[in-house]
């Protein structure tokens, strides 16, 4: 938590992790503080203009994010987050179409695996994995390690053109299917 002036908290899911963005706004001093995962990235202690915007980057891909501060009435303010030029909701909806995410536990450790369907890049706990997609009898697959275990993402035909663009992606951990996650 930033301070008593914290007015908004958002979570942004990117391929290299889920980032918690906290924003503090001093409505009498104009103070603005932005923290990402607890690390301060912007601090402005005294500003005469109480409305406006703060722009910064998130994650290793340096995705552009902007917090908008708008007066709604008197001393009431509204705060919104835009990521990659889109409202947070539109950005999240767009990411859901081009990524597939799995959360799994292996040897007591938590892992977050993300497939970027547009580039076929695979990320595990914020690290881009070195994968090679190979053709197999029923589609394609990429194999990579997760701890001491073997992970495999399989891409197979859904049998129909409408569903998932005709391609279904599933994650196998040591040959066992892992359910997909919303993040």
Residue 93 lies inside a defined structural domain of this protein? no
Q: Residue 17: which CATH number?
A: 2.40.128.180
Sheet containing strand 167-173, strands side by side: 133-136, 139-146, 149-157, 167-173, 176-178
Q: What pLDDT score was predicted for residue 181?
A: 84
Looking at the fold, whether 103 and 172 belong to one and the same domain comes out as yes
- Whole-structure pTM value: 0.86
**111, 125 in Cβ contact below 8 A?**
yes
In angstroms, how far is the first alpha carbon of the chain from the final one?
23
15-44: pLDDT as tens digits:
999 999 999 998 778 889 999 999 999 999
Does 1 have pLDDT greater than 50?
no
Q: What is the pLDDT of residue 4?
A: 76
Same domain, 122 and 75: no
pLDDT at 88 over 90: yes
Q: Domain boundary at 58, 84, 110, which?
A: 84
Which residues on neighbouring strands pair with residue 39, listed in sequence order?
A: 36
pLDDT in tens, 121-153: 999 999 999 998 999 988 899 999 998 999 999
Task: Kindly state the tokens that stand for 68.
Answer: 């908008």
Do 16 and 74 reside in the same domain of the chain? yes
Phi and psi angles of residue 45, each rounded to the nearest 5 degrees, phi first: -80, -25
For the chain, how many structural domains are there in total? 2
Tokens of 8: 């908004």
Which tens digits make up the pLDDT trace of 104-126? Answer: 999 999 999 999 999 999 999 99
Report the run of H or E that residue 55 belongs to, with start and end. strand 52-58
């Amino acid at each position: 938590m930033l301070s008593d002036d914290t007015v908004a908290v958002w979570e942004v899911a990117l391929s290299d992790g889920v980032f918690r963005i906290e924003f503090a706004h001093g409505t009498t001093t104009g103070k603005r503080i932005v923290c990402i995962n607890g690390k301060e990235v912007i601090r402005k202690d005294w500003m005469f203009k109480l409305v406006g915007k703060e722009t910064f980057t998130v994650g290793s891909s340096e995705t552009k994010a902007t917090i908008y501060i708008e007066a709604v009435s008197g001393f009431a303010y509204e705060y919104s987050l835009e990521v990659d030029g889109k409202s947070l909701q539109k950005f999240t909806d767009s990411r859901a179409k081009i990524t597939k995410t799995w959360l799994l536990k292996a040897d007591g450790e938590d892992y977050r695996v993300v497939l970027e369907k547009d580039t076929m890049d695979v990320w595990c706990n914020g690290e881009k994995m070195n994968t090679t997609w190979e053709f197999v009898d029923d589609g394609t697959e990429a194999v990579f390690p997760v701890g001491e275990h073997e992970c495999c993402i399989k891409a197979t035909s859904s049998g129909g053109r409408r569903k998932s663009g005709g391609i279904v992606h599933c994650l196998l951990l040591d040959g066992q299917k892992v359910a997909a996650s919303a993040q």
